[in-house]
Amino acid sequence: MIYAGQNKVFSTNKTLNLGGRLLTLDTPCVMGIINVTPDSFFDGGRFTDDASILRQAEKMILEDATIIDVGGYSSRPGAMDVPPDEEAKRVLRAIRIIRKEFQEIVISVDTFRAALAKNAVTEGAALINDISGGELDPAMIETVAHLKVPYICMHMKGTPQTMNTQASYENLMLEITTWLAQKISVLQKAGIQDIIIDPGFGFAKTAGQNFELLAKLNLLTMLGKPLLVGLSRKSMIWRTLNTNPEHALNGTTALNMVALLNGASILRVHDVKEAVETITLFSQLMTEHSKRQSGV
């Protein structure tokens, strides 16, 4: 296992500008997921009214989430397409009610549509989380550059409707790393300053490929960008354990620690408390490891 922080060759920029507020990722942080959808694979239908959205946001904030990621389009494999106006209706309403009640929390909008990204930032979102890396809406990159907000660029082939048929790679890590490197170049040329990369666990990847990606995750640190990892309750966990998403929290925690050891800066999760505790233990481990390295 490669301990995060051992790689001295590649330096990662770990400061993000969130509307004038600086977020430093020297210590990893947690992004809590609120899906305002009826059909997401784990929490679909749970947060569709104002009261439930606010309760979940408050719970995540009290459990020390740094970011709340709001999405209105289920990206589980084979999910039905959602019309742009329906997605916007779901997401913008949720952002408004969260921002009204909790002014200080950082809100991310989970969308691949540029128009919604723009409107979400107007309503108070501070960063954009795009599962397509700009592939599904040609206006996205220009929009993000104009908005001057951080951008999470995720690797995916195809769409949520077709990605299961496109999990074919000659060299998984080489292809993902090359794709992300090319995207970073395009984003930087467009004027986007703060870029976070997400290798896209479960998106056009088989269970075996997901585990290979996790085992070799440290290779992505060579790209010099903060690394977001979204493993929470995904099928690579619950299918391996012969269970279901409801009983995949323990497996999620175990793999989140592996992700941290291999360089993750942000954990995107449904369960904030357990992820924060994992980071606390990871940080203590790194402190002791540093002491040993320096001979203290």
- The residues that are catalytic are 234, 268
Residue 131 has phi, psi (to 5 degrees) of -65, -15
Nearest residue to 31 (alpha-carbon basis) of 199, 192, 227, 176: 227
CB-CB contact of 167 with 175 (8 Å): no
- Packing angle between helix 207-215 and helix 249-261, nearest 10 degrees? 40
Q: Say which amino acid occupies 139.
A: A
Q: Give the DSSP H or E segment for 62.
A: helix 50-62
Nearest residue to 151 (alpha-carbon basis) of 188, 198, 195: 195
Q: Which two tokens stand for residue 72?
A: 């209105």
CB-CB contact of 220 with 180 (8 Å): yes
232: buried, middle or exposed (CB in 10 Å: 19+, 13-18, 0-12)? Answer: buried
CB atoms within 10 A of CB 57: 24
